[in-house]
Structure 1
């Protein structure tokens, strides 16, 4: 038995050896999971961010393009610094910034890359790139920020910025990651999905010091990014720039529309700002300064400012009255100034004269005829029913709610209903004498400059409009824009009612806005003066031209500039001439507008 012990020991050792060899074989040959783990430890997954789509104006001029910048990324677990002072000197950041950036990155993930220093310029990148080898866990990711060759249309184009935590939570597609950039306003925000493109991924080998050793498996698993779609804007850049020049030193809006399509030719918010300020590393600082500016350059007045429309609303009143059958071209009222103030003009006037001379008492009486239809024996109830019926007509003109322009945060104004007055005065406790200011576009009525320009387009088109929009094609294809911008909207007023109204608007130019007349171009327009309890009244003007074949509809709203024939009509006239003729033949009028400083 003792003689067999060595043999048993040898067999046991042999069996153990076989087991160990078998296990080793399984680990190294049959099972590649350990190999894959090793490979992952030596592989960096780098997201390839696509270039955002470019934005052109309607004539093919570039409005927005991409400018390459670099983000210094850090993988916290691999990152180490022996000499903090030298690191901060090389990368030109403070010790506090380094600690803050590293802490935020480690909180996000100790093994995933996060931005440590954002938006490094090409010049600074050239200076630091040779030092990256000295710091494991660092690498550079190429980014693109927006650049604007012409500092125009800032409020319409919008800007991009780093995605917020709330936006990340709402991202059900899981497209975005911390540190990504996203459109935050304007066209950039509304068309984010079209502009952003498709991300790619690259896998690269790195050694223990984090030095790039080339593509993993020759790029077999890499996917290329796909650039975003290019947008052709409806904006006429030359017209936009000219309008911004005219509005310098003023507070207000100019919106010009091509009536037959709803394409926005110019959208000017004044005061404005240079869109290049909201790009690059100084985005945060510049944004705070702009946001604190008392003139509110970030406030997009064409779609967000709401004002009483003033006398321009008399055109809507005329058309509604004609369609309701309450008015006809021969309906005549006296200019009874005991009802409401008015300026000197012949009296009495028919509907043509009421439009031409902008007669306030006429519309006071005409509106009362529309509202108090004697459909009820109760005067209060009669007014309520009349107001609600009238309101249904007015809403079809694109008032009382957002039009649906391709920009976020559009306001809808207000066309008051009986519910509003019931809450304000009590049910059955108000009547026509309570609401008569609506007859001339005052009171609780509010509209935006965009809605005013759309009214001008409706007057030009004799009863229809297309929802105003700022993008006319995606990758050159006009059929790719949202269908709502290719759908005709009818306002429910017969086309023949517009004939007399257009003629009266053309005559009105020589009555209340003679300065706006252009030789050989017939303008149909309407001035307005919106009351302002806080100071000088606001100057309002809407128009379209040429009257025979309208190419442009426009609304100008200049705050604190007085009556509409002053600043607003002159500005609109110059814009019309610039668009139709391509040049200005009235330098004296241009000087008159530029001299007006109303802020």
Structure 2
């Protein structure tokens, strides 16, 4: 029996090995394709990315043909390098660098040698392609922008890097991927699916036909089209109004949360980031640290909200029942709480209505004081106030379908416990929050969403920029109602006050005949700190609004950096955007002319001068310190030697 064990083991092992070899060689052909078989060439067919349309069906982003020169380092034979470089208008150093990079990636696998050739460059190379073994051309589609605005919305297309390839096996060297905007957020939807062809080569490396008669080949599947919520005409108009200004415009449809316009200024033509000059142009945009054209101010810029925040202060006061719409406070040119919070009301006794349209600091300072002092535990009061404010979408990421954004700041008890070492908070310590100064920070999209809550009398839908995806359902988070903590009954008196801002108040010079607009002006203090020194600059101009008052179709926030007071720049721009969207034409041509021709470049030059001068002085100071240290070291060394 023991003599039979060894032969049995050998026989069984042999049978298993033969069966496995038979399976691998005869039954399972897929493993052959996964190996780097020199007889098989794997060629990818790249699909067109999905098209992008505006809410009215206007084509915004299409595709155009482009060609990449691919290289397989191991297959490069003796070629005329000089002729190759002259043909493509590149240097020998560039040639060597790209080949070395391709070898590092893989000597056997193809990688991009030169990307995004146009038709003329491709035709010139194709004529002589046979002379350069190891190189071949590959067709793909690049973006073709039908408009010269909306770059912050679209994003751009760029080549994948090694980090992306390691994390996402779908991509290979030279593949394109969306960056920023909807191109990044909806990459998997837009990119489609690559097709693959397996070609058989003979011993001379010549293609002799499809492998296995093409049974493993797959067809490229075009990406799905996107329909954006953006109104292209409104977006274009907002972009024009923001020329020579810095800031953001965000417009939302209150009943759906659909973003109608998302303007960031300054901006750039999206076509700059297409073609062989893309890298050069991107570098120039990226290193513009003053104007920051790649910085989406509508989503990322955090500013004190200023007087528009008084809307929330008033609503919380009503909800907490520390005031009603007839409660009065006296204003003596401002609010005195140890310090003086100045306003422009003069000597008046104010109720909620004229407190809103006169934008009275004294009125809303008193409302906030009562709100914080309602409960004995001041930290509980702060958290209770924080809860109300955040229910408007402030102080948090809204969850939009854009890949960027900031959450702003709504202070809570944790913050103040650190600041005041756990001591009792007096309302006077934090009273600046009442008028949107203090510690409160918001982004323009949050302010637009805040106005959507007011327009809807207590709720909002998460703002989003994609209206429809061909073949897919919209994420349910964009169709789920978010309820604020304020009862619907408290919104009517506030809305009346906001309409009276146009009728009797700070925006009375912006009225549009036949159009009932509810709005609020705002001015936010503006300082910068450069090289350890603080500079007071011109205030930011803010305006929030919605219209028509009886059936709101648009809620908007406009923020203009260094724009003085709210009714000077932000107010007119908001009014024009509203009239353009609702009526389709402009009757306030006086405002339009002033905004289209107006410029704040002089203010921005002052800032640039401060930054430049302070940085130059800082550099000189550091150089002087360095020279002193060198002299000290030299003196010490000389002393030691002596």
Same fold (TM over 0.5): yes
Match status 1:593 vs 2:599: no
Which shows bigger deviation, 416-425 or 123-132?
Answer: 416-425
Secondary structure of residue in 2 paired with 1:528: strand
Is structure 2 residue 488 aligned with structure 1 residue 487? no
CA distance 1:362–1:111, shift in 2 (3 Å): same
Comparing 80-89 and 487-496, the one that deviates more: 80-89
Residue 309 of structure 1 aligns with which residue?
305
Q: 148-157 or 420-429: which moved more?
A: 420-429
CA shift for structure 1 position 168: 2.7
Answering whether residue 339 of structure 2 is matched by residue 344 of structure 1, we say no
Native 8 Å contact 1:194 1:229 kept in 2? yes
In structure 2, the partner of 1:518 is: 512
TM-score by length of 1: 0.90
Q: Deviations over 1:347-384 (max 9, x none)?
A: 211111211211100111110100011x33xxxxx322
Aligned partners of 2:545 and 2:555 also within 8 Å: yes
Deviations 1:282-313 (A, max 9, x none): 11111110012220000010110000000000
Matches of 2:28 and 2:188, distance apart in 1: 38
CA contact (8 A) 1:136 1:210 kept: no
Distance verdict in 2 for CA 1:334–1:285, change over 3 Å: same
Paired residues of 1:133 and 1:210 also in contact (CA < 8 A) = no
What is the Cα deviation at residue 54 of structure 1? 1.0
- Alpha carbons 1:302, 1:450 under 8 Å: kept: yes
Summarize the Cα distance change of 1:574–1:170 in structure 2 as closer, same or farther, 3 Å threshold.
Answer: same
Return the alpha-carbon distance in structure 2 between the equivalents of residues 315 and 539 of structure 1. 17
Aligned twin of 2:437: 442
Larger CA deviation: 85-94 vs 264-273: 85-94
**Aligned residue number for residue 120 of structure 1:** 117
Query: Which residue is equivalent to 2:366?
Result: 365
Residue 243 (str. 1) matches residue 245 (str. 2): no
Partner of 2:582: 580
Match of 2:266 in 1: 271
Indicate if the aligned counterparts of 2:248 and 2:265 stay in contact, CA closer than 8 A. yes
Shift of 1:48: 1.5
Q: CA deviation at 1:513?
A: 0.9
- Identify if the C-alpha distance between structure 1 residues 209 and 588 changes in structure 2 by more than 3 Å, giving closer, same or farther: farther
Aligned position for 1:134: 131
Alignment match, 1:567 = 569
Q: Secondary structure at the match of 1:50?
A: coil
Matched residues in 2 for 1:210 and 1:280: separation? 32
Any stretches of 5+ residues in structure 1 without a counterpart? 1-25, 377-381
Q: 1:149 aligns with which of 146, 151, 170?
A: 146
Per the TM alignment, residue 482 of structure 1 is displaced from its structure 2 partner at its CA by: 1.3
Regions of 4+ moved over 4 Å = 30-34, 36-40, 206-214
Q: Distance in 2 between matches of 1:509 and 1:347?
A: 20
Is the Cα–Cα contact under 8 Å of residues 79 and 131 in structure 2 kept in the other structure?
Answer: no
How far did residue 385 of structure 1 move? 2.0
Once the two structures are superposed, the pairs formed by residues 97-112 of structure 1 within 5 Å of their partners are 97-112=94-109
1:70-103 deviation per Cα after TM superposition (whole angstroms, max 9, x unaligned): 1111111111233211121223221111111111
**Cα distance in 2 for residues equivalent to 1:498 and 1:350:** 15
Q: Find the counterpart in structure 1 of residue 76 from structure 2.
A: 79
- 8 Å contact 2:152–2:294 — kept in the other structure? yes
Superposition pairs of residues 148-547 of structure 1, within 5 angstroms: 148-171=145-168, 174-206=169-201, 210-293=205-288, 294-336=290-332, 337-339=334-336, 340-344=341-345, 347-373=348-374, 375-376=375-376, 382-428=377-423, 430-475=425-470, 480-510=473-503, 511-533=505-527, 534-547=536-549
How far the C-alpha of 1:167 sits from its partner, in A, is 2.4
Secondary structure at the counterpart of residue 201 of structure 1: strand
Equivalent residue of 1:232, what SS?
strand
Report if aligned partners of 2:512, 2:587 keep a CA contact under 8 Å in 1. no
Highest Rg: 1 or 2? 1
Structure 1 residues 31 and 392: CA distance shift in structure 2, 3 A = closer
Contact 1:163 1:181 in 2 (8 A): yes
- Cα distance in 2 for partners of 1:132, 1:271 equals 43
| Structure-2 separation of matches of 1:350 and 1:33 | 83
**C-alpha distance in 1 between matches for 2:199 and 2:401:** 41
Q: Larger deviation: 267-276 or 487-496?
A: 487-496
> 1:208/1:284 Cα in 2 relative to 1: closer, same or farther (>3 Å)?
farther
In 2, Cα distance between the equivalents of 1:406 and 1:60?
20
Query: Which segment is superposed worse, 321-330 or 39-48?
Result: 39-48
Q: Which residue of 2 aligns with 1:55?
A: 52
Counterpart residue number, 1:17:
none
**1:64 is aligned to 2:65:** no
**Where does the alignment leave 5 or more consecutive residues of structure 2 unmatched?**
1-20, 528-535, 602-642
RMSD: 2.2
Q: Secondary structure at the match of 1:265?
A: strand
Deviations 1:222-277, CA, capped at 9 Å, x for gaps: 10011111100000001100000000000000001111000000000000011111
